[in-house]
Structure 1
Amino acid sequence: MRRLRTVIPLALGLSLLSLPAVARAHPVACFDESAPITVEESRLGDRLTPDGPAVGPELARLAGFEDDVSSFTARLCETRSRSRAQQLAATAGTGLWRAAVDRARTAQAWDAYDDRPLYWARLQATRALRQWTPRFTLSTGDRARLVGAFDLGSRGVTDLAFADGARRVAVTGFDPFQLSGTSVRRSNPSGAAALRLDGKVVDTPQGRVVFQAAVLPVLWGAFDQGIVERFHGGALGQGAQAVVTVSQGRPGQFDVERWAGRWRGGFPDNNDLSSVGPAPDAAGWPQPAHEFIETTLPHERMVGAGTTPFPVLFNRSFCEWPVGTVPGEGFPDCRSDEPTPGAAAAEGSGGDYLSNESMYRANRLRLGLGATGVAGGHLHTPVLGQPADPTALTDATFERERRAIADQVVALVSVT
């Protein structure tokens, strides 16, 4: 994703889900509300009006995930061993992902294209895991593994299984990001598209296509730990013939990005953390050294496919640190021809944030595994705005634009 340079008013009163993640069925809490949580999780209490409900929990409630969260916290309070806790975290995370995918396919669901409920329900569960006070000793490492198991399961990373008899395409979208203040309402159409795509089978003029999808976090640390490699490595291991990373980009257009660059520019992530420098290797995966990696997606076909309503462009731009200079110092040279041999990458066609890095990591891995015949690259979607009323969670224009973007993503990745 790039760095971003019919109204349902909020009901009064507090949702039960806006309270600390304590099971309603358990009057005696098994959670320590003073235990530290992440910046992302702290936004669960953000409101658009002083008397309105917390936005994230309210979106989870409207989508029908309230019972999923309260059931998980109730079962957590009853868990008596680390092994059972690990199993619970993994199965509950995967269950939340499947519920979100099923919801995205249900025409009768409240705003079925809304990616935000999954994001906020996941944070409620991971907050509960961080603040859980079990009746047995739980080390810092054990707790991190529980959080990680739930997180990966709820993103579709561990739910990867292609159907037979079709061209296999792996796709990733992203969580909402830049969520401070009233922007806590933000949605990410790439995540909405991923939910629509997971398990979907599409008949195209080139043949039948089957998708597996996941939603990536907007977190530098998760990328350092190899979440991109884990999903796309699993997909390539199952014979994926295309790997496509998708994120939100520029207003009013789609961009098929030509180049991925190795450099990360440091724009803050969803935990308000920055990172500057070359993208680190992910342990356990082949990581060949490339400053730039060129897309192998069929960009001419994607641009010429006639998808609507947004124009689709092939973006050739990139920036490099000139040969003989120190990367990160001075000003990069930005062009649209070819990278200079020996120059260090400063920006890919899609910038220097996590979207560029998702393309870089997925395709560095593709090359490292010798999958040179696999199509790989990145698609940037148009920017999705926010509801016009600053006190509203949604409106008709917001929903219509997200639906249009997500549907066009499906159409574009179907021709890869």
Structure 2
Amino acid sequence: MISLTLGLSLLSLPGVAHAQPAPCFDPNAPVTVEEQRLGDRLTPTGPEVGPELARLGGFDDDVTRFTTRLCEPISHAQAMYHVAAGGTELWRAAVRRAQSPQAWDPYDDRPLYWARLLATKALRQWQPRGWQLDAAARARLVDAFDRTSRGVEQVRFGDGVRRIAVTGFDPFQLGGTSVRRSNPSGAAALRLDGKVITTPSGPVVVEAAVLPVLWGAFDQGIVERFHGAALGARADALVTVSQGRPGQFDVERWAGRWRGGGADNNDVPVTGVVPDAVGWPQPAHEFIETTLPHQRMVDAGTTPFPVRYNREFCEWVPGTVPGTGPMSCRTDEPTPGAAAAGGSGGDYLSNESMYRANRLRLGLSATTTAGGHLHTPVLGQPADPTALTDAAFERDRRAIADQVLALVSVI
């Protein structure tokens, strides 16, 4: 339910335009590029898109409870508990709304994304009462909320069934009116988390998480943290999912050990070899091949989009310096000893999610666990540039997310 009578509404949160911040927040404290987009509007007099989507999705109570508690007397230990509990409850609320009828489309992944940013922005601007919060401690609080609100810490497979771990992604490419963007891979993850799927080979339980579109979070091991927990719980398959190209699904054959320089959600571009994640086994593969049952996924006849097995990959020509070229892109086999320049799914964070999850799978010798990546069709935006949604936009997102579930069911 969307509350209409809040003691502290979304519009009074720190940094939101035309609002008086609560006394325990410093509106001049720096925030990230992602969090700055909370003030973006589609028209000069329209609502701020992020807070409005959080409200429409029913998360105003969750955000208000979280920020109100920060303004009460609270110790550092209580703050850490509050942050972890608040993030966990936001994730659970998002999964509940995604899997039950709602006034606002339950397939919409955007309310969770923007509610999370409202909370992390509040943490960056929070001024505790009676004690000082240094930069390192603040960063730990933000990280704890971020991880728990993504499902990364909640891998709980049941007994006696096959287990599949799935990750999707946040919305991305959010500049200008594109602040409205949704990511169907994130919508699919929310629909799938905790779900038991009936398949011809028996029940399958899915645990899911939504990854950030941030190079820094990948450097800190968020992919390994989720998939490491899944492998520790004896997952039968790891499936990373992201948004790919228009009109089709792609089961990607290769993941490559290269970042191609694309900017993330904080407008940070990164080029170079995929770095290690501290504390996890890191075998140095240039390319890692999918072990998902790709032909079965192609032949399953899921609809409405065609499903292709994508064999493309790119490598730096042997004898040249990676990153300076030239590049060779083909559909056969990587040259022994050649450095990766791009996997079948490219050289952005989607490719890296597949690479990191499966590098970990190999490093932990999980030879009976399947692993690979699924790219969804591109989801457009509402036709009216001033609208947050429309029927075609919701229909397409629903179709993509439902087909992800159908494809996961045949693994």
TM class by smaller structure: over 0.9
Structure 2 length-normalised TM: 0.96
1:99 is matched with which residue?
93
**Distance in 2 (alpha carbons) for counterparts of 1:102 and 1:321:** 46
1:282-311 CA-to-partner distances (Å, cap 9, x unmatched) read 000000000000000000100001100000
**Distance in 2 (alpha carbons) for counterparts of 1:81 and 1:279:** 38
1:149 is matched with which residue?
144
Moved over 6 A (4+): none
AA aligned opposite 1:221: G
SS of residue paired to 2:341? strand
Contact 2:21–2:27 (8 Å) recurs in 1: no
2:123 is matched with which residue?
129
Among 185, 192, 199, the residue aligned to 2:180: 185
Contact 1:220–1:275 (8 Å) recurs in 2: yes
Among 51, 57, 65, the residue aligned to 2:51: 57
CA shift, 1:83, in A, is 0.6
The 1:28/1:359 distance shift into structure 2, 3 A limit, reads closer
Contact 1:201–1:210 (8 Å) recurs in 2: yes
Contact 2:165–2:208 (8 Å) recurs in 1: yes
**Distance in 1 (alpha carbons) for counterparts of 2:286 and 2:134:** 39
Among 300, 304, 312, the residue aligned to 2:299: 304
Structure 2 residue 14 is the aligned partner of structure 1 residue 17: no
2:400 is matched with which residue?
405
1:386 is matched with which residue?
381
CA shift, 1:155, in A, is 0.1
SS of residue paired to 1:350? coil
**Distance in 2 (alpha carbons) for counterparts of 1:396 and 1:118:** 20
Structure 2 residue 248 is the aligned partner of structure 1 residue 249: no
CA shift, 1:27, in A, is 8.2
CA shift, 1:67, in A, is 0.9
Task: Output aligned runs, 1:162-173, within 5 Å.
Answer: 162-173=157-168
Higher relative contact order (CA 8 A, sep 6+): 1
CA shift, 1:259, in A, is 0.1
**Distance in 2 (alpha carbons) for counterparts of 1:227 and 1:347:** 21
CA shift, 1:21, in A, is 3.4
**Distance in 2 (alpha carbons) for counterparts of 1:331 and 1:186:** 35
**Distance in 1 (alpha carbons) for counterparts of 2:62 and 2:246:** 35
**Distance in 1 (alpha carbons) for counterparts of 2:238 and 2:365:** 14
1:373-402 CA-to-partner distances (Å, cap 9, x unmatched) read 110000000000000000000000000000
Structure 1 length-normalised TM: 0.94
Structure 2 residue 362 is the aligned partner of structure 1 residue 361: no
SS of residue paired to 1:276? strand
2:83 is matched with which residue?
89
SS of residue paired to 1:300? helix
Contact 2:14–2:26 (8 Å) recurs in 1: no
AA aligned opposite 1:20: L
Give unpaired runs (5+ residues) of structure 2. 1-7
SS of residue paired to 1:50? coil
RMSD: 1.4
CA shift, 1:110, in A, is 1.3
Task: Output aligned runs, 1:229-308, within 5 Å.
Answer: 229-308=224-303
CA shift, 1:18, in A, is 4.2
2:4 is matched with which residue?
none
CA shift, 1:19, in A, is 4.4
Contact 1:103–1:109 (8 Å) recurs in 2: no
Contact 1:79–1:85 (8 Å) recurs in 2: no
Among 220, 227, 234, the residue aligned to 2:222: 227
SS of residue paired to 2:262? coil
1:67 is matched with which residue?
61
- Identity of counterpart residues, as a percentage? 75
CA shift, 1:108, in A, is 3.1
Aligned pair count reads: 400
**Distance in 2 (alpha carbons) for counterparts of 1:286 and 1:185:** 38
Give unpaired runs (5+ residues) of structure 1. 1-14
Structure 2 residue 74 is the aligned partner of structure 1 residue 80: yes
**Distance in 1 (alpha carbons) for counterparts of 2:100 and 2:187:** 13
Contact 1:308–1:408 (8 Å) recurs in 2: yes
Contact 1:189–1:402 (8 Å) recurs in 2: yes
**Distance in 1 (alpha carbons) for counterparts of 2:312 and 2:279:** 32
CA shift, 1:16, in A, is 4.4
CA shift, 1:17, in A, is 2.0
Contact 1:22–1:29 (8 Å) recurs in 2: no
1:170-195 CA-to-partner distances (Å, cap 9, x unmatched) read 00000000000000000000000000
1:334 is matched with which residue?
329
2:202 is matched with which residue?
207
**Distance in 1 (alpha carbons) for counterparts of 2:408 and 2:22:** 49
Contact 1:249–1:380 (8 Å) recurs in 2: yes
AA aligned opposite 1:313: R
SS of residue paired to 2:304? coil
SS of residue paired to 2:218? helix
SS of residue paired to 1:359? helix
Contact 1:206–1:415 (8 Å) recurs in 2: no
2:102 is matched with which residue?
108
SS of residue paired to 2:102? coil
**Distance in 2 (alpha carbons) for counterparts of 1:58 and 1:163:** 36
**Distance in 2 (alpha carbons) for counterparts of 1:307 and 1:116:** 26
Contact 2:9–2:64 (8 Å) recurs in 1: no
